[in-house]
Structure 1
Amino acid sequence: MSVATENFIKAIYNNNSHDARNTKPGNIAKKLGISNAAATDMAKKLAIKDLLHYEKYQELQLTDKGKKMALNVIRKHRLWEAFLFKMFDMSLHDIHREAELLEHQTSDLLANKISEYLGNPKFDPHGDPIPNSEGEITTTDTSIPLSNAVEGKKYVISRLTSDDKEFFEFCAHHKLKYGNEIKVSKQFKNNKMTELSVENNTILLNEDFTTLIYVNEAN
């Protein structure tokens, strides 16, 4: 399949995985930086190939075949992120950018070799689950957005859901990394802000950040 097709299918899968983002052609067009007309035309073509269901004015839904393709591309992307992070200690933004290119040039054989070399990791450095070679996600996601965390409790950062360079730079500077423990001091619900402490430093975050950081309650 072409790079454009893989990116289109992957965008639908990723948007569908987040409740706040619908999968209408216009939203997929915005995500990919293409025109609405181009997105609609692509959706119609991929519907003929049985990769998705297209209905005018409705959200796009992947078929089983389309979902399998999306998960295969995502597997390669996240394996490359894990490899680049381990081997070169690259930033979370840079590994994402490089993986966007490498995912389309990677055979299933090479993906399996990378996975074996890394010890078959379940998660990438952002905390996102890595599908297995059968296109299955075998982990259960119990994380919640930091914005929904309870005051006074300790949590472990489980996922950073962004591809913005400044977001990752901010998180790295303030030790907001996958696997780090934090304590939620205060939730300012009216102002949609969260005060937390990490490694003895106090940070105040607005909702733009707290909806992108996912956590699990610490043991």
Structure 2
Amino acid sequence: MSVAIENFVKAIYNNDKHDIKDTKPGNIAKKLGISNAAATDMAKKLAAKDLLNYEKYQKLQLTEKGTKMALNVVRKHRLWEAFLFKMFDMSLHDIHQEAELLEHQTSDLLAEKINEYLGHPKFDPHGDPIPNADGEITTKDTSISLAEAIEGKTYTISRLMSDDKEFFDFCAHNQIKYRNTLTVSKQFISNKMTQISVGSNTLVLNEDFTKIIYVDEN
């Protein structure tokens, strides 16, 4: 399959799983940087290939075949992120950008070799689960967004759901890293802000951040 097709099904899968934006063609178009018309045309073509279900003005839904393809691409992407982070200590933004390119050039054989070399990791450095070779995610997600966290409790950072460079730069500068711990000092409900202590830092984060930082209670 072409890079464009792989990116399209992956975008639908990620939008659906992350529940940030729905999977209507317009939202997929924004994510991929293409026109609405191009996204609609692609959706119709992939529906003919039994990769997704398309209905005008409705959300796009991957078929079993489409989901399997998306998970195969996601697996390769996240394995590359884990490899690049381990080998070169690259930033979270940079490993994402490089994995976007490498995922499409990677055979199933090479993906499994990387998986074996890394010791069969369950998560990538962002905290996203890595599907196995059968396209299954075997880990159970018990995390909540920082916006939902309870005052006074300590949590482990389990996921950073973004691909924005400034977000990752901010997180790295303030010790907000996968598997680091933090304490929620205060939830400012009306203003949709959260005060946290992480390492030696005390921070107040707005909703733009607290909805994409996920944590597990200690």
* Fold shared by both chains (TM-score > 0.5): yes
Q: d(CA) in 2 for partners of 1:139 and 1:21?
A: 23
Paired residue for 1:24? 24
Give the aligned partner of residue 185 of structure 2.
Answer: 185
Letter in 1 for 2:3: V
Q: Aligned AA for 1:90? A: M
Give the number of equivalent residue pairs: 218
Per the alignment, residue 100 of structure 1 pairs with 100
CA distance in 2, matches of 1:84, 1:25: 32
**Matched residues in 2 for 1:86 and 1:20: separation?**
29
What aligned pairs does 1:140-159 form with structure 2 within 5 A after superposition?
Answer: 140-159=140-159
TM-score by length of 2: 0.99
What's the offset of the Cα at 1:124? 0.1
User: C-alpha displacement at 1:60, in angstroms?
Assistant: 0.4
Equivalent residue, structure 1, for 2:114: 114
Q: In the TM superposition, what is the alpha-carbon distance from 1:105 to its structure 2 partner?
A: 0.1
Residues 126-185 of structure 1, C-alpha deviations (whole Å, 9 max, x = no match): 000000000000000010000100000000000000000000000000000000000000
1:4 aligns with 2:7: no
5+ residue gaps, structure 1, are: none
Tell me what 2:195 maps to.
195
1:130 counterpart residue number: 130
SS in 1 for 2:18: coil
Structure 1 stretch 152-161 or stretch 198-207: which is displaced more?
A: 198-207
Equivalent position SS for 1:158: strand
The structural deviation recorded for 1:18 is 2.4
Query: Where does residue 168 of structure 1 map in the other structure?
Result: 168
Q: CA deviation at 1:213?
A: 0.2
Unaligned runs of 5+ in 2: none
Distance in 2 (CA, whole Å) between partners of 1:20 and 1:156 is: 22
Alignment-mate amino acid for residue 105 of structure 1: Q
Counterpart residue number, 1:44: 44
Deviations 1:84-109 (A, max 9, x none): 00000000000000000000000000
SS at match of 2:171: helix
Q: Cα deviation per residue 1:44-101 (whole Å; 9 max; x = unaligned)?
A: 0000000000011111000000000000000000000000000000000000000000
Q: Secondary structure at the match of 1:137?
A: coil
Quote the residue 1:210 is aligned against.
Answer: 210
- Give distance in 2, aligned partners of 1:69 and 1:213: 27
Letter in 2 for 1:68: K
Amino acid at match of 1:83: F
1:21 Cα deviation (Å)? 1.2
Aligned to 1:87: 87
Alignment of 1:68-87 (within 5 A): 68-87=68-87
TM-score by length of 1: 0.99
* Counterpart Cα distance in 2 of 1:10 and 1:133: 16
Structure 1 residue aligned with 2:57: 57
SS at match of 1:159: strand
Report the Cα distance in structure 2 between the residues aligned to 1:210 and 1:35, rounded to whole angstroms.
Answer: 30
User: Secondary structure at 1:113's aligned position in 2?
Assistant: helix
Percent identity between the two aligned chains: 78
Matched AA of 1:48: A
Give the counterpart letter for 1:128 in structure 2.
D
